[in-house]
A and B are shown apart, each in its own frame.
Chain A
Amino acid sequence: MEFVTPEGLRRDGRRPKELRQLKCEVGVFPHADGSATFNIGNTQVIATVFGPRVADSRGESSTDRAIVKCAYSESHFAAGSRRQRKGRGDRRTAELASTVRKALEETILVELFPKAQIDLGIQVLQADGSVLAACINAAMLAVADAGIPMRDMIAATTVGYLESTPLLDINHTERTGNGPELLLALHVNQDKAIIITEEGAVNPETLEGMAELAEQGCKAVGKFLRQSLLEHIQRHATVRGLTVK
């Protein structure tokens, strides 16, 4: 099947460097310390944060920093075909949970909360490509909503490469093309890559092009996230009669 038409349009009508529609909502669950939903195209992810709170097990806790735990779950109806097996506990979900955890661990200023524990909960409602990137973005929003200080804003995006074109933010159909796939999670202000995962054989020049596109994509997502957080704070401030510059 063709992924990029001769005019340069992708199957869903986007241009190669175009992100899907971004939507997010901060503070959706009152019972959690911080929560957020993040939608990119059809991919919908909910993230919640509980903490910092006293660590559950003293053996795991650390005397100079907080530990970050992440529980990840994909609902049965997330993918196109209903999944029979559990959405947690297998190797793939364990790896995804671990990646989100490490990304946020590097972003949160964990040294400020010794002996504490921060619990991240990620629920994937719909999966349509770039799921891990969406999870990281949602988690960042939830952590910001919880008021936990962070080193920088982290934004993630994926880039694929099909028919000699780097494609930003690939969806599920484009993933079936089995081209190389690059996931980049970037600290947007400091310009540092926290998570880089590339899968599929690709020559170095092409990879350079993909990495550049991914950087631009991350910055765009970062801008959107920042805007959403500011709007959220503005709303809260208005409700409480405060002024925010």
Chain B
Amino acid sequence: MIGSDEKDFIRGGFKADIRSDGRACNDSRPLSLSLGDLQPCSGSARCTLGSTDVIVGVKAELGAPLPDSPDCGGLHITVECSPCAGPTSQGRAGEALSFELAKCLERALNAHPSGRGSALDLRALSIVSGRTCWVLCIDALVLACDGSLLDALSIAVRAALQNTRIPLVEVGATEDPDEEPELELDDDPANAKQVDVSRVPIIVTVCQMDDAFVVDPTAREEEAAEQACHIAVMPTGNVCGMFRGSGAAVTPFALQEMMSLAQKRGPLLLQAVGKSIASAAMSMET
């Protein structure tokens, strides 16, 4: 909760292109990623964007495909607000927030149930058509909330998926087509499959206050701003999703501005993410 004086102060800062932490309106906070911390998961990533801290674990489990898409694997996304994020993130408000975040992430990653247009190639997750497939369970945990939650979550999800290793499965031959085939899982990590994340988008949060548009707002800035938009941007620069936060209506012109801003920022952010992942991987190997 911030007072009106503080809102005015922030507004003045935006006009002068100076924010409370010294950034310009177009600057993101420093990003740090650490991969593979969680042993029980197939892949995990922890992303810190300034004070916002999220951790994502991906588990690949065997399951059955949905009846209307027998050749596709499954994808489940859950978001949970940890008690560490503060007493305000608990209770019903916290649950509503987690649900909303999970829905946004799902929509950004999954397009059509048939698998077309989805960020992940779900067909690659199928093992035996109509019977067995890999189900990726993505569990996100918000440890600290200081604005731009969707940004941090989408980055962490992308990094976790990149870190995920799915064991190779050999399907035993069966004479009887109705019989359940035998599955052999290869434990060797060198033979494990990687997930193709080339089309996984990143969400960029843009806030508007008067005529100023800011990227990667902190919690206070989010509260002070009147409108906010979360735009999902692919690595190619194309926009693949947009979610409106609460707040006043956005004019079409403002919307255009926000989208072009996001399209510019998206690839830059992804580059930073790629660098982080690479350096993290190198430090793990050394």
* Contact flag (A, B; Cβ within 8 A): yes
A residues with a Cβ closer than 8 A to B are 29-32, 35, 42, 44, 46-48, 50, 56, 69, 71-73, 75-80, 82, 87, 119, 121-123, 125-126
> Are B83 and A71 touching (Cβ within 8 A)?
yes
Residues of A near B137 (CB, < 8 A) are 76, 82
> Are A125 and B83 touching (Cβ within 8 A)?
no
> Are A76 and B139 touching (Cβ within 8 A)?
yes
> Are A119 and B87 touching (Cβ within 8 A)?
yes
Minimal beta-carbon separation of A45 from chain B (angstroms): 10
> Are A31 and B86 touching (Cβ within 8 A)?
yes
| Cβ of B55 under 8 Å from chain A | yes
Residues of A near B57 (CB, < 8 A) are 75-77
**Which of B24-32, B38-46, B173-181, B226-234 forms part of the interface with chain A?**
B38-46
> Are A123 and B141 touching (Cβ within 8 A)?
yes
Residues of B near A73 (CB, < 8 A) are 80, 82-83
- What is the bound-complex CA distance between A119 and B143, given in angstroms? 15
> Are A80 and B86 touching (Cβ within 8 A)?
no
Known contacts: A71-B87, A75-B139, A77-B57. The answer to whether A126 contacts B80 by CB under 8 A is no
Give the contacts of B175-224 with A (CB-CB under 8 A): none
Minimal beta-carbon separation of A186 from chain B (angstroms): 25
Give the contacts of B65-101 with A (CB-CB under 8 A): 78, 80, 82-87, 90
Besides the known contacts A31-B86, A46-B82, 17 further A-B residue pairs in the complex with CB atoms under 8 A apart: A29-B53, A31-B146, A32-B86, A46-B143, A48-B84, A50-B87, A56-B87, A71-B83, A75-B139, A77-B57, A80-B40, A82-B61, A82-B137, A121-B82, A121-B87, A122-B84, A126-B38
Most buried by A among B41, B87, B137, B139: B87
- What is the bound-complex CA distance between A46 and B38, given in angstroms? 14
Known contacts: A76-B57, A77-B59. The answer to whether A123 contacts B143 by CB under 8 A is yes
Q: Annotate B137-154 by CB proximity to A: 1 below 8 A, 0 otherwise.
A: 101010111100000000
Residue ID in chain A nearest B42 by CB atoms: A77
Known contacts: A77-B44, A79-B40. The answer to whether A121 contacts B84 by CB under 8 A is yes
Q: How many A-B residue pairs have CB under 8 A?
A: 82
| Cβ of B238 under 8 Å from chain A | no
| Cβ of B276 under 8 Å from chain A | no
Residues of A near B39 (CB, < 8 A) are 42, 126
> Are B82 and A123 touching (Cβ within 8 A)?
yes
Residues of B near A46 (CB, < 8 A) are 82, 84, 143
- What is the bound-complex CA distance between A71 and B80, given in angstroms? 14
- What is the bound-complex CA distance between A73 and B80, given in angstroms? 10
Residues of A near B82 (CB, < 8 A) are 46, 73, 75, 121, 123
Most buried by A among B37, B39, B84, B145: B84
Select one of B38, B41, B84 contacting A35, CB under 8 A.
B84
> Are B86 and A125 touching (Cβ within 8 A)?
no
Minimal beta-carbon separation of A49 from chain B (angstroms): 10
Minimal beta-carbon separation of B139 from chain A (angstroms): 4
Select one of A48, A78, A79, A80 contacting B83, CB under 8 A.
A48
Residue ID in chain A nearest B59 by CB atoms: A82
> Are A31 and B87 touching (Cβ within 8 A)?
no
Known contacts: A31-B86, A47-B84, A121-B83. The answer to whether A77 contacts B146 by CB under 8 A is no
> Are B80 and A77 touching (Cβ within 8 A)?
no
Residue ID in chain A nearest B87 by CB atoms: A119
Residues of A near B55 (CB, < 8 A) are 75, 125
- What is the bound-complex CA distance between A180 and B163, given in angstroms? 39
Q: Which 10 A-B pairs have the closest CB atoms?
A: A121-B83, A71-B83, A77-B57, A76-B139, A48-B84, A123-B82, A121-B84, A119-B87, A123-B84, A77-B41
| Cβ of B118 under 8 Å from chain A | no
Residues of A near B110 (CB, < 8 A) are none
Select one of A50, A77, A78, A82 contacting B86, CB under 8 A.
A50
> Are B87 and A77 touching (Cβ within 8 A)?
no
Select one of A32, A69, A77, A78 contacting B84, CB under 8 A.
A32
Minimal beta-carbon separation of B18 from chain A (angstroms): 21
Minimal beta-carbon separation of B170 from chain A (angstroms): 23
Q: Annotate B111-144 by CB proximity to A: 1 below 8 A, 0 otherwise.
A: 0000000000000000000000000010101011
